[in-house]
Structure 1
C-alpha cells in the first residue's frame, strides 16, 4: 500500500517539468500583448483608410454633376428631389424611381414609354426633360423645376380661377397638347395635378407615365389601354370601348377648364355607374356660389361642346375657332421668369439632345 501511495505523490521530475511549463506559459503571455497591439494598429489603419475612401466615394448623381437637395414630393415608388446642375448652373428636379418598389409593368412598359415621349418634346409649357440615368436598382429622370405649385393647389387656394386667368392657362395647355399630338405623343393623363406652375405662373405639363408615342404621319389606331384618372376620363374609356387617344386628351382638357372656373369637378366619380350616366348626359353647371353664377355663357357653350361623347367631340383646331377661346386664350403667352428663377428650358442649347444612360457600374445604388 505504501508503494501505491508514493506513486500518487509528485516526483522531482514532475516539479522540473511543471516549472518548465510555467516558464513557457509566461513567455507566451508576455508576447501576446505585443501581437494584439500590432493587430489593433493594423485594424485601425484599415478602418481609417476605409472611412477615407467612403468619404471620397462619389454618388451616381455627383458623378454626373448633380448635387441633390430637398425632397419636392413623394409617391408610391418614386421620390422627386431638388438638385443643382453644375454643368447648366441652375436648379433641376430629379425623379428617383425605385425598381424594387415599382410594379414590373411600370418599370418595363410605362417608364420606358415616358422616357421615349419626353425626350422628343421641347415646349415652353411642357416640363423640359434633360437626362435619364439607370442603375441596377433605380432610374433617375432629370427634369426642369417648376416650383410654383400646381393648378389643383391654385384652385384650392383661391376656390376658383377667374376666366381671364383660366383662359391664359387653358390656352397654354392647348398649345402644348397640340404640339405633343403633332410630334406623335398623346398624354392620356391630363389633370389639374399634372399641370405644374413655374414662378411666373406658366403652365408646365408633367407626368407622361401613361403617354403613348405614335407616327403623326399616319392615322392613329384606337387604343384599348384604359388609363388615366376616372374624373378626367371620357365616356369611351369609362365604358371600356376602344378609344381615340388624342380625343381623350381633349375631353380631359374640358374637365380641367370646368374645374378651374367652377372650383369643382364636373362629374362625381364615387360611383362608376352614376359617373357613366353623368358623362354621357353632359355637364351640369353648379350655382351654389356667386363666382359660379357669373361664369359667361360663351364659356358654358365651349364646355358643353368639349364634354361630348365621340364622335361629336371637337378637335383642337375647332376649339381654337371658338368665341370664348378667341377672347381669353388666343393671346396666351409664356411670361419669362426673373433672372433668379432661370429655368432649365432657358439655359439649354437648341441643339442639345436629352441623354439616356445606363450606369451598371453603380450597382450598389
Structure 2
C-alpha cells in the first residue's frame, strides 16, 4: 500500500496529522517526503520505510536500532526524530527537516578558512562526544552525513550503521566492519575488534582534513593502495595548514587507537578552543516558513550505504570493473593459502595448469580457446592482518571465455571465502 493510499484512509492526512508534499529522496527500502504537521504547521522530513522489503532483507533489527539510537540522542547538532508511526506495510519516521544541504557540498568547493572549518568541527565533536556519552557510536561519519540548516548549523544524520554499548562483546570491543572506505579507521579494516569511540575520532580527523585541505588524506584510485595508506597512517598535510591544526589532525589520524586522541582531549586542544563554539539551547526543531514546495533536496544516505553498497563493502561477491583489461576483485578474511587452495581446485577441474607462490597464482589452460591459450592471473594483497584483497584478471586469451569461467566456475567455488556484503555493510549482529 502506497503513501497516498495511507493518506486516503485518514481523510487525506496520514494518521490525521501529516500532509505529504514532494519527494525529497529515496533508497531501496525507503522514500523521504516533505511532510507538514497540519496541527502545528511544522515541516518534517518523513522517511517512509517498506516493512516487507526490510524484513525480506533481514534488516528489521538494524531498523529498530536506528530508531532506538535517534530516540536516545537529543542534541542541537544531531538530526531530531520527532515521531515514529506504523501501518501494516509501512514505518513512518518524522524527522527534523534540515534545509541547508550536506556539508559535502560546501567541502567540495575547496579548502575552508580555519575559522569556518573550526566552527563546523566544534559542532561535530560536540555531537559525537554527546553520542559517546550515551553509549552510541555512529560508525559512518563523513561530510555526506553532516547536514546544514538554513543558519549554517551542523546536524549529524544517518545513524543506520550506528552501534550501542550493548553491542560490545566480552572483550569490550565492536567487531562488525562498516563505514565508508576513505573515512574508516585502520583497526576497523583489521577486523580484530575496535573501540567505537576511537573509530569515530579517526573519521572526524578525516573530515577535518577534508575541510582544511579540500581533498581526502588517503585518497587513491587503487583501493588496495588506499587501505595500505590508511593502515600506516600515511598522509601529508598541505603547506597552508597551521602548525596547531596539523598537530591535531596527526593525533586524530594516529593508526594506533590506543594512542589516538580522545574527544575530551580534542576539546581541550588549543586549536579547538581558539574561538568558542556558538552557544545553542536544546530546542526542538526550528519552525521554517511555509515554503512547502521549495527545491532543496535531502538524500537517504544510510539506506544507500546499506542497500547499494556505498559503504565499506568492497563488493557483495565480486566487483566487476569495465576496464581495458577485465578484472574481478573481492575481499576476504580467510588465510591466503585457503584462497589459493580453492582456486587450485577449480582450475584443475577445468584443465588449467597452476603456477603458484604465496601471493600469486597463474592459471594457464592447456588448450587454446577461440583466440589463444587463456591465461589468468590471481594476485593476493595483504591490506591488514586478517584482511586480504584478491584481484583476478585476464592476461592472455578471449575475454568471453574468461568471463564464462569466472561466472560459472570461479564464483561458485569461492563463495565460502568471500567477505559477504552482510558483514561489510554492518548488517551482521554484533553479538
Q: Which has the larger strand fraction? A: 2
1:296 aligns with 2:235: no
2:37 equivalent in structure 1: 85
TM-score, with normalisation over the residues of structure 2? Answer: 0.60
Shift of 1:303: 0.5
- Summarize deviations over 1:297-351 as a string: whole Å, max 9, x none: 21111101100122111111111121211114x4344499987459xxxxxxxxx
1:322 equivalent in structure 2: 269
Give 5+ residue unaligned stretches, structure 2: 291-431
Q: Which has the higher contact order (CA 8 A, sep 6+)?
A: 1
Shift of 1:272: 3.8
1:65 equivalent in structure 2: 17
State how far apart, in whole Å, the 1-side matches of 2:7 and 2:211 are. Answer: 50
Is residue 77–residue 124 contact of structure 2 (8 Å, CA) maintained in 1?
yes
State how far apart, in whole Å, the 2-side matches of 1:237 and 1:60 are. Answer: 47
State how far apart, in whole Å, the 1-side matches of 2:228 and 2:106 are. Answer: 29
1:23 equivalent in structure 2: none
2:350 equivalent in structure 1: none
Alpha-carbon spacing, 1:136–1:57, altered in 2? closer, same or farther (3 Å): closer
Q: How does 1:102-181 map to 2 (within 5 A)?
A: 102=54, 104=56, 107-156=59-108, 158-181=109-132
Q: How does 1:204-353 map to 2 (within 5 A)?
A: 204-214=155-165, 221-268=172-219, 270-285=221-236, 287=238, 293-309=239-255, 310-328=257-275, 330-334=276-280, 340=288
Shift of 1:61: 5.5
State how far apart, in whole Å, the 2-side matches of 1:229 and 1:284 are. Answer: 18
Shift of 1:131: 1.3
State how far apart, in whole Å, the 2-side matches of 1:165 and 1:147 are. Answer: 19
1:351 equivalent in structure 2: none
Q: Secondary structure at the match of 2:72?
A: coil
Is residue 168–residue 333 contact of structure 1 (8 Å, CA) maintained in 2?
no
Q: Secondary structure at the match of 1:119?
A: helix
- Summarize deviations over 1:161-207 as a string: whole Å, max 9, x none: 22111101110011111111111211111111110000001011111
State how far apart, in whole Å, the 2-side matches of 1:219 and 1:298 are. Answer: 38
State how far apart, in whole Å, the 1-side matches of 2:119 and 2:171 are. Answer: 29
Alpha-carbon spacing, 1:64–1:297, altered in 2? closer, same or farther (3 Å): farther
Shift of 1:56: 6.0
State how far apart, in whole Å, the 1-side matches of 2:30 and 2:286 are. Answer: 30
State how far apart, in whole Å, the 1-side matches of 2:247 and 2:107 are. Answer: 22
User: Which deviates more, 318-327 or 112-121?
Assistant: 318-327
- Summarize deviations over 1:194-237 as a string: whole Å, max 9, x none: 10000001011111101122269x99821111111111100011
Shift of 1:294: 2.0
Structure (1 or 2) with the larger CA radius of gyration: 1
Q: How does 1:36-75 map to 2 (within 5 A)?
A: 57-58=9-10, 62-75=14-27
Is residue 202–residue 334 contact of structure 1 (8 Å, CA) maintained in 2?
no
- Summarize deviations over 1:256-301 as a string: whole Å, max 9, x none: 11111111111126434312321133252364xxxxx322121111
